[in-house]
Structure 1
């Protein structure tokens, strides 16, 4: 139907969804709480987002349950809880510096061949976030 521009780049880089460190959209507004992928809660290192989606939904439910009203100021407790759980988003300066590809590619190739690195860092730390304690249950 001609809706796809003909001048698209030959190769895309990155994820098709919003990563936490790069998300700039507000999480809270009057009557609105963004959770999971809509909030850009996928982990920057891995793109994994199931755990943050579930945890953000539980945190949103707690805030909604306890809210006196649904104004942005009342719901900001959710935004604060997200920042406490997942950290603050990267500033522009932090986002602008990247390891050059000529260093990153051979280093990544070597590391990904290591069973220890793929298990301990990629799987256990970047995907599963085993070092992060479980979300505390609401009372």
Structure 2
């Protein structure tokens, strides 16, 4: 009698362990996927509206002198940036603006914008000015 009970208990234990193992294999990936999604959404929502709407100005140092930019924020995102005043060579500034502004609008992150080769100091001045304007716009 006790042998039958022991055999039945062991069989039940083995079946339960097998079922538990199968369940874990399905549950853990689902939990990891849910956690990944929630962290992604949290990161997106914190970046999505990080700025107050308005127009902000900033200044930076270019190759030949001071550069002033104007940055527009709409719906918490960078909508536009333009050079208002500068003392650098116009040909250099056109190249800088044509590269820096689209990259800024695409990435929405001034830290991901690269300086333009051949116009490094002017680029850095524009980037510095935009960074200053964005600091004013932070919530």
TM-score greater than 0.5 by the shorter chain: no
**Higher Rg:** 2
* TM-score, normalization by structure 1: 0.26
- Which has more strand, going by share of residues? 2
Which structure's relative contact order is higher, taking Cα pairs within 8 Å and 6+ residues apart? 2
TM-score of the aligned structures, taking structure 2 as reference length: 0.26
